[in-house]
């Protein structure tokens, strides 16, 4: 028997021992968990049996209270141990099919033997209570596995650095307690396993990368020192994967005080949420909260405005180049997303402290109770140096006092008398009884008709004023819309705040903005600035419960949005991950480190860490070579050495031929065993058209689905999807529906085209329906793709 075979047998025997130990422990736990559960149920049912309820005197009340408290404590302890055991049980069951994926033999400096450490998705300790049969991948010692090849190594513990030597590094693939693959590696993480993982098909759900986390990814996952962590990483470099592993790591590291509900992930769209939803449960953690920025905007503003979403905005950008307002709108979007505009907004707030506030008068039954002028005079009456929101709050109190007086005076009004007369019998009787009861309790001799009428009047006016108080409390007397409008109406304000020149196309930008506001609409680029202004004035809404915020696809957030998220979660640490080369929305932010970056301004340079991911894992080397050549800084991207065919550029005579060819290619890809195939279009309009054209052709193929901004769940299969919705997700094969210069002719669309071409894992095919190829391709070295002409 060769040495390797004997090693393999030894390892297999260990897997069998650990599996048996797991089975044994599970067999012990299962009845115990069941027992505690029935104890808890029993305890709840008989909770009161052991509580002596006696409320006769103070001592008895105290005793009753103590006995209840004791019972509650016992119940809570049992519930806690039930939860804990259940959790353990689940972990052991998860370990069963594959108890670990790695081994390192580590000899700590100063000791004379190496310890064998086996790494898996959870820890498992032997019956002696101290020997780790498996170490959780998140334990400090397990970081050795990800960070070092064999040789000198160290890891950080709360007590300081521990140094030593890794003698052996071994990787396994274990399925159903049988070792399928096993190899020793001289590298950090052997590429063989990565080859195997990446060679498989794209699923409809993202997978955890726990067994093959790369060193540069591990730095992101375990960074817990900075308030803001910014990750700029190439397409397919594992940003989303690292973000989710990081969430699992933090949940483990801070398990005593951090729960999944205290973490939130901002995703680009709801479909993406479903795509990543299984990773944390696969790692044995509860899912963290997931949301989109738009969801928040809608919750706050949809009652006041018809708010445009980013998808409609991008549709405009991609399809309306002929609109005479196009250039002005694009200039407006860029300005409104800039740090410059953020500073304008803050300056505007300071300006409003002295001048130019806008209020709404308070009306009642068509009459003005408090005019906007009187509110304005009151507001500027005090020269307080307090914040704007504090002064608004003071003003609110003042308004309420005024209203109370006006309310009192209103009781004598003629309409109140009319209301009294129109009270129907039942209402009258009801009011009468209630008032009578109340009054008699205070004054047993109460029966005076005048007093009765006064009280009824009081009641009627109070009811009529109730909605006004409600609006005042909601600060509806502040005219935020007029304030936002004023910035675009009065050029002197912006000129003063910018200290000079107005932005490009300003007259068109301001005309468009005011027009839409007057029509009750809010353009996407105005939504966050508008909300920011509202909060600068009224005070910020905050969620202090959230401790970690993760923002994926972060290149598409504006300076405003980052600032906003920071304010919204004042106690949170932020992780921001993105790729500037995939910035498809106009408000994009650069995530590279540079001084003066709005991201650096968020928490300051000392509290901001910048990390880079340069190796790209998703696509074959041929696809990465093709895509990175489209970028100015493409040579910074390092493809993972996995081979496949070159991208194929298919030139057709016309659209009909293109559609036929595309359907034939889909069939061929399905025959090759690929199951996740996406036809990527430039816009939603084009996706709809493609879907209509392809649908009748594809007959015996699997169903073809059209993905729209409303699609809630990501499913694999055959899809037609606009490029900006394919952001963040991946497919086995991608077919670019129209890669001609007719479709992609503007430099501003380069990043969108790049994003679309970086979605496949294995195959990329591009089509032209009889036109010239887009210049994004013609400028590339023709060796990077295979050109095919259909006749
Ligand atoms: N260390 C790793 N081990 C195994 N697979 C990995 C690893 N890192 C990344 N991958 C795989 O590479 C693919 C891309 O990863 P992911 O989607 O996280 O990248 P991304 O940087 O967010 O991409 P993009 O910006 O293009 O959306 C996924 O299939 C992921 O499973």
* Segment 371-403, tens digit of pLDDT: 999 999 999 987 778 889 899 999 999 999 999
Range with lowest mean pLDDT among 337-351, 467-481, 584-598, 671-685: 584-598
* Arithmetic mean of pLDDT, 673-682: 95
Number of H helices, E strands in the chain: 28, 26
How does DSSP assign 496-516, residue by residue? HHHTSPPPTTHHHHHHHHHHH
Residue 560: pLDDT band (50, 70, 90) is confident
Contacts of 304 (CB under 8 A, 6+ apart): 481, 522
Q: Does CATH place domain 621-789 in 3.40.50.300? A: yes
Give 609 or 451, the one with higher predicted confidence: 609
- Note the pLDDT of residue 406: 92
Which atom from ligand 1 is nearest to the alpha carbon of 758?
Answer: 26
With 0-12 / 13-18 / 19 or more C-beta atoms within 10 angstroms meaning exposed / middle / buried, residue 439 is middle
Range with lowest mean pLDDT among 15-19, 33-37, 105-109: 33-37
Which tokens belong to 14? Answer: 């260990």
Which atom from ligand 1 is nearest to the alpha carbon of 202?
Answer: 29
Residue 480: pLDDT band (50, 70, 90) is very high
- Note the pLDDT of residue 599: 86
- pLDDT at residue 183 tops 60: yes
Contacts of 267 (CB under 8 A, 6+ apart): 273, 276, 290, 291, 292, 552, 553, 728
Residue 422: pLDDT band (50, 70, 90) is confident
Cβ(785)–Cβ(777) below 8 Å: yes
- pLDDT at residue 548 tops 90: yes
Cβ of residue 640 lying under 6 Å from some atom of ligand 1 = no
- Note the pLDDT of residue 419: 81
Cβ of residue 214 lying under 6 Å from some atom of ligand 1 = yes
Cβ of residue 730 lying under 6 Å from some atom of ligand 1 = yes
Q: Beta partners for 368?
A: 363
Cβ of residue 583 lying under 6 Å from some atom of ligand 1 = no
Cβ(255)–Cβ(602) below 8 Å: no
Which residues line the annotated binding site for ATP?
233-240
3-class state of residue 229 by DSSP: strand
Q: Which residue has the tokens 């006004």?
A: 468
580: left (phi over 0), alpha (psi -120 to 50) or beta: alpha
Which tokens belong to 213? Answer: 């986390």
- Note the pLDDT of residue 543: 93
Q: Which residue has the tokens 């809630």?
A: 712
Distance CA 562, CA 200 (A): 36
Note every long-range contact of 378-381, with CB atoms under 8 Å and residues 24 or more positions apart, other chains counting.
380/354, 380/355
Q: Which residue has the tokens 């202004």?
A: 533
**Ligand 1, pocket-test mutation among 584, 616, 618, most atoms within 8 A of CB:** 618
Which atom from ligand 1 is nearest to the alpha carbon of 755?
Answer: 26
* Arithmetic mean of pLDDT, 469-492: 94
The mean of the pLDDT values for the chain is 89
- pLDDT at residue 224 tops 90: no
Residue 117: pLDDT band (50, 70, 90) is very high
**Listed residue (602, 609, 546, 529) closest to 577, CA to CA:** 609
- pLDDT at residue 486 tops 80: yes
Distance CA 720, CA 369 (A): 58
**Ligand 1, pocket-test mutation among 209, 271, 725, most atoms within 8 A of CB:** 209
- Which protein residue's CA is at the shortest distance from atom 26 of ligand 1? 235
Extents of the domains making up the chain: 1-96, 98-218, 289-353+480-613, 362-433+454-474, 621-789
Residue 447: pLDDT band (50, 70, 90) is low
- Note the pLDDT of residue 695: 84
- Ligand 1 centroid–CA 240 distance in Å is 7
- Note the pLDDT of residue 49: 66
* Arithmetic mean of pLDDT, 419-444: 70
Q: Which residue has the tokens 């140096």?
A: 385
Cβ(61)–Cβ(55) below 8 Å: yes
- pLDDT at residue 237 tops 90: yes
- Note the pLDDT of residue 372: 92
418: left (phi over 0), alpha (psi -120 to 50) or beta: alpha
Distance CA 125, CA 113 (A): 21
Report pLDDT digits (tens) over 779-790. Answer: 999 999 999 998
Q: Which residue has the tokens 């106009």?
A: 586
With 0-12 / 13-18 / 19 or more C-beta atoms within 10 angstroms meaning exposed / middle / buried, residue 669 is buried
- Note the pLDDT of residue 265: 95
- Note the pLDDT of residue 421: 78
Q: Beta partners for 232?
A: 578, 612
Cβ of residue 235 lying under 6 Å from some atom of ligand 1 = yes
Cβ of residue 190 lying under 6 Å from some atom of ligand 1 = no
Cβ of residue 209 lying under 6 Å from some atom of ligand 1 = yes
- Note the pLDDT of residue 227: 95
Give 252 or 445, the one with higher predicted confidence: 252
Q: Could you tell me the pTM of the whole model?
A: 0.87
* Arithmetic mean of pLDDT, 231-245: 95
Instruction: Work out the percent of the chain whose per-residue pLDDT is above 90.
Output: 64
- pLDDT at residue 741 tops 90: yes
- Note the pLDDT of residue 86: 83
Give 444 or 591, the one with higher predicted confidence: 591
Which residues line the annotated binding site?
233-240
Cβ of residue 627 lying under 6 Å from some atom of ligand 1 = no
- pLDDT at residue 584 tops 80: no
- Note the pLDDT of residue 448: 66
- Note the pLDDT of residue 48: 66
User: H or E element: which one contains 722?
Assistant: strand 718-722
Give 600 or 70, the one with higher predicted confidence: 600
- Note the pLDDT of residue 589: 67
Report pLDDT digits (tens) over 29-88. Answer: 888 777 766 666 666 676 666 666 666 777 777 777 777 777 777 777 777 777 788 888
Cβ of residue 555 lying under 6 Å from some atom of ligand 1 = no
Distance CA 532, CA 526 (A): 10
Q: Which residue has the tokens 């990368």?
A: 209
- Note the pLDDT of residue 518: 96
Range with lowest mean pLDDT among 200-214, 586-600, 663-677, 734-748: 586-600
3-class state of residue 664 by DSSP: helix
Q: How many CB atoms lie within 10 A of CB 726?
A: 22
Which atom from ligand 1 is nearest to the alpha carbon of 552?
Answer: 22
């Amino acid at each position: 028997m060769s040495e390797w075979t004997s090693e393999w047998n030894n390892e297999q025997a260990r897997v069998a021992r650990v599996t048996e130990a797991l089975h044994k422990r599970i067999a012990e736990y299962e009845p115990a968990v069941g027992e505690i559960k029935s104890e808890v149920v029993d305890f709840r049912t008989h909770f009161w049996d052991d509580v002596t309820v006696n409320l006769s005197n103070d001592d008895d009340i105290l005793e009753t209270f103590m006995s209840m408290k004791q019972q509650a404590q016992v119940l809570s302890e049992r519930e806690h141990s039930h939860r804990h055991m259940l959790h353990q049980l689940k972990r052991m069951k998860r370990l069963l099919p594959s108890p670990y994926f790695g081994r390192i033999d580590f000899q700590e400096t100063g000791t004379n033997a190496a310890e064998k450490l086996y790494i898996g998705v959870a820890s498992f300790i032997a019956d002696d209570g101290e020997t780790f049969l498996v170490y959780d991948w998140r334990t400090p010692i397990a970081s050795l596995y990800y960070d070092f090849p064999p040789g000198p190594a160290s890891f950080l513990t709360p007590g300081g650095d521990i140094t030593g030597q890794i003698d052996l590094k071994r990787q396994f693939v274990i399925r159903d307690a049988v070792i399928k693959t096993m190899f020793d590696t001289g590298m950090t993480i052997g590429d063989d396993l990565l080859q195997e993982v990446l060679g498989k098909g794209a699923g409809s759900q993202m997978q955890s990368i726990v067994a093959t986390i790369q060193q540069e990814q591990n730095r992101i996952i375990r960074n817990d020192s900075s308030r803001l962590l910014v990750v700029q990483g190439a397409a397919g470099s594992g940003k989303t994967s690292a973000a989710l592993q990081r969430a699992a790591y933090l949940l483990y590291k801070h398990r005593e005080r951090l729960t999944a509900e205290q973490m939130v992930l901002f995703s680009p769209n709801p479909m993406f949420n479903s795509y990543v939803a299984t990773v944390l449960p696969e790692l044995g953690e509860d899912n963290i909260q997931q949301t989109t920025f738009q969801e928040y905007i809608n919750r706050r503003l949809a009652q006041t405005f018809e708010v445009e979403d980013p998808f409609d905005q991008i549709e405009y950008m991609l399809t309306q180049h002929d609109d005479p307002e196009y250039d002005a709108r694009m200039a407006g979007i860029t300005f409104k997303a800039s740090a410059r505009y953020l500073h304008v907004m803050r300056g505007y707030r300071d300006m409003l402290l002295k001048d130019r506030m806008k209020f709404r008068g308070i009306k009642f039954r068509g009459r003005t109770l408090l005019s906007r002028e009187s509110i304005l005079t009151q507001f500027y009456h005090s020269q307080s140096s307090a914040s704007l929101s504090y002064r608004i709050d003071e003003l609110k109190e003042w308004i309420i006092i005024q209203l109370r007086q006006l309310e009192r005076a209103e009781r004598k009004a003629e309409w109140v008398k009319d209301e009294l007369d129109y009270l129907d019998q039942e209402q009258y009787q009801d009011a009468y009884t209630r008032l009578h009861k109340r009054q008699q309790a205070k004054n047993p001799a109460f029966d005076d008709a005048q007093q009765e009428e006064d009280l009824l009047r009081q009641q009627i006016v109070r009811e009529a004023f109730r909605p006004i108080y409600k609006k005042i409390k909601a600060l509806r007397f502040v005219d935020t819309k007029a304030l936002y409008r004023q910035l675009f109406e009065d050029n002197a304000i912006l000129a003063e705040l910018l200290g000079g020149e107005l932005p490009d196309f300003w007259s068109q930008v301001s005309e468009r903005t005011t027009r839409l506001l007057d029509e009750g609409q809010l353009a996407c680029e105005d939504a966050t600035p508008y909300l920011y202004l509202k909060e600068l004035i009224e005070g910020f809404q905050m969620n202090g419960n959230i401790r970690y915020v993760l923002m994926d696809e972060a290149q598409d957030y504006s300076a405003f949005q980052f600032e906003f998220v920071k304010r919204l979660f004042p106690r949170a640490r932020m992780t921001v991950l993105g790729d500037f080369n995939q910035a498809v929305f106009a408000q994009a932010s650069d995530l590279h480190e540079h001084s003066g970056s709005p991201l650096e301004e968020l928490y300051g340079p000392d509290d901001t860490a910048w990390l880079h991911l340069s190796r790209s894992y998703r696509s074959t080397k041929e696809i990465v070579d093709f895509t990175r050549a489209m970028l100015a800084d493409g040579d910074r991207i390092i493809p993972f050495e996995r081979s496949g065919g070159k991208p194929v550029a298919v030139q057709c005579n016309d659209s009909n031929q293109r559609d036929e060819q595309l359907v034939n290619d889909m069939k061929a890809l399905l025959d090759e065993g690929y199951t996740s195939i996406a036809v990527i279009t430039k816009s939603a309009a084009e996706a709809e058209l493609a879907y209509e054209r392809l649908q009748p052709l594809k007959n015996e193929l699997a169903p073809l689905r059209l993905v729209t901004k409303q699609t809630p769940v990501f499913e694999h299969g055959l899809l037609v999807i606009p490029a900006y919705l394919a952001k963040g997700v991946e497919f086995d094969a991608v077919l670019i529906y129209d890669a001609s210069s007719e479709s992609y002719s503007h430099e501003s669309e380069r990043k969108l085209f790049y994003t679309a071409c970086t979605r496949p894992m294995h195959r990329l095919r591009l089509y032209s329906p009889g036109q010239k190829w887009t210049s994004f391709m013609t400028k590339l070295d023709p060796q990077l793709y295979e050109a095919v002409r259909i006749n």
